[in-house]
Amino acid sequence: MAKQKIKWLLFHEPAELFIRTAEDFQKHLDTLTNNKYEIEILTLTDYQNKYLDGLICDPFLELKEGRVQCSQLFSDILGDYDATDFYALSMPYLFKDHDHASRVFEGEIGKSLFEHLYEKTQVRGLSFTYSGGYRCTASTTPIRSIEDFAGKTYSRWRNPVHADMIDMVGAKKVDRLTDSETDWDKVNVTQTTYPRYHADAHRSQKYVADTKHSMYVTSILLNDSFWNSLSEQDQAHFTQAGFLAARKERAQSVADAEEIKTSESKQEKLGIEEVITWPEEEISKLKTLWSPLYEKYKNFFGNNILDKIKKI
C-alpha cells in the first residue's frame, strides 16, 4: 500500500535543528505505524518555491488552513494568534530546571495549554520542544550586570512580557517584526539561545551573557482536519511520536547549548568573543527586579497557570 504523504513545514532557523526533530519524529512514526506515512520536510523557502511559485506565506496560516499538515513553531507566535497563555512560558525565571519544565510540558499544564491553543486557533498541539532551551543575552558591548542594560537598545517581538522586562532593566525597545526590516546598527541587545545564536543575533553582538532568564519553547503542531482524518489508533501513534521526538529534542538542545557554552572553538566559529557567566548574586537581583511581573500577569493568563507552574 502506498504511503500517505504529509507536509512538515519548517519556519525557524537554524534549519538543521528543526530538520533533526522532524526526521526523528518520522523514525518514531515509522516504527509505530509500520511505515504508513511519508513526511516531506520543507524549509519555508523550499515550500514557497515548490508550492506557491515563490510567493511569501504565513507558516501558521498554511498549517491552520490545511495546506501543510505539520509544523514546529515558536510559542510566542502562538501568543500572537490569540493563544496568549503561551506568552506565560517566557516569564522570567519561571522554570527551576529542565526537569521542572518537563513536568509542565508533559503533564496537565501542557495539556491545558494545547486545549487553549485549540480553542483559540483550531490548531492541534502534540508536544513541547526547546529548539534552544534557556535563553542568554547577546550584545554589542559586555553585559556584566543589570546596570549595563541602561540606555541600550534591545530588540523585541510582540510578546508583552518581554517588552516589560526590557523596560524594567532600563533598556530601549526596538520592534523586530522581521529580520529584513531590522536596522541592526540601532540594536545593541538581543535575547537568544546558544544553539540559535547565529540565527537571532547580529554579528556585531559578539558578547553573550549567560543570564538564563527564560526558556525558548517551540511546539510540534498538527492541522485539525488532518488530525480528525486519522483513526484513533493513528492519533495515538502521532501523539506518541511527538512525545518521544520532543523528549529527545529537549535533551539535544540542552547538550547543544552546553557544548557551545564550554567550547572556545565553537564560540569562535559562531563569532562569539566572550561568554559572560553572571554571578548568582546578580542573577538574584535580576529575578527580584522582574518579580512584580508575576502579580501583573496573574490574571492576564488563564487557568491560574503561573501559580500552577511554580507549584508543580
Query: What residue ranges of the chain are covered by domains with CATH 3.40.190.170?
Result: 4-131+217-259, 136-213+270-311
Which numeric CATH code is attached to 4-131+217-259? 3.40.190.170
Global pTM exceeds 0.85: yes
Q: What is the pLDDT of residue 177?
A: 58
CB-based contact 199:12 (threshold 8 Å): yes
Written as tens digits, the pLDDT of the chain (312 aa) is 789 999 999 998 888 989 999 999 999 999 999 999 999 999 999 999 999 999 999 999 999 999 999 999 999 899 999 999 999 999 999 999 999 999 999 999 999 999 999 999 999 999 999 978 899 999 999 999 999 999 999 998 889 999 999 999 999 999 875 555 667 778 999 999 999 998 888 889 999 999 999 999 999 999 999 999 999 999 999 999 999 999 999 999 999 999 999 999 999 999 999 999 999 999 999 999 999 999 999 999 999 999 999 999
Q: Which CATH superfamily is domain 136-213+270-311 in?
A: Bacterial extracellular solute-binding protein, family 7 (3.40.190.170)
